[in-house]
Amino acid sequence: MAAMFLTVLSLLAAASLLHGAAFLSKTKEMTIRYGTKDHERTVVRRYCEWNGHQVLLGSTWTTACCMHCTCTSYGLECYTHGVYMTPPGCLVLVNEVCEVEIVDSTDHNQPCQSLIAGPPGGVVTQGIPLEAK
């Protein structure tokens, strides 16, 4: 029970570290007519609009400012990293492929020691002897 409580507590703490941003905009439609007046074919194409560009459904991309976007039948869905709250002595870095790294504030090549060490005093677990059957 204690292990489950600690797991839930850890997940809630991790979720509280991030406040992201997201938005959704509706798809648009264009009507295209092919052929002659007697043999005309009409196609209605749905698309998303992003910064003045028409993007086909199913397209996915990441912008230079690390916004992740997907054009779905529901519309344009985009999200980005938010604000991270880190322990003292830690720093948040976003690398060249938009992955978030929480590093030591004095040595950016090392992971955050506060996150590795865990809570003050560590985690206490109690072993339960198992009986052989």
pLDDT (tens digit, 9 = 90+) per residue, 46-86? 999 999 999 999 999 999 888 999 999 999 999 887 777 88
Flag whether 24 is in a domain: yes
52 and 29 within one domain: yes
34-48, 85-99, 118-132: range with highest mean pLDDT: 34-48
Q: Report the alpha-carbon distance of residue 87 to residue 117 in Å, rounded.
A: 11
The answer to whether the beta carbons of residues 82 and 19 sit under 8 Å apart is: yes
Flag whether 5 is in a domain: no
Q: Report the alpha-carbon distance of residue 21 to residue 15 in Å, rounded.
A: 14
75 and 50 within one domain: yes
Q: How many domains does the chain have?
A: 2
How much is the mean pLDDT over the chain? 77
36 and 69 within one domain: yes
Flag whether 4 is in a domain: no
Flag whether 53 is in a domain: yes
38 and 56 within one domain: yes
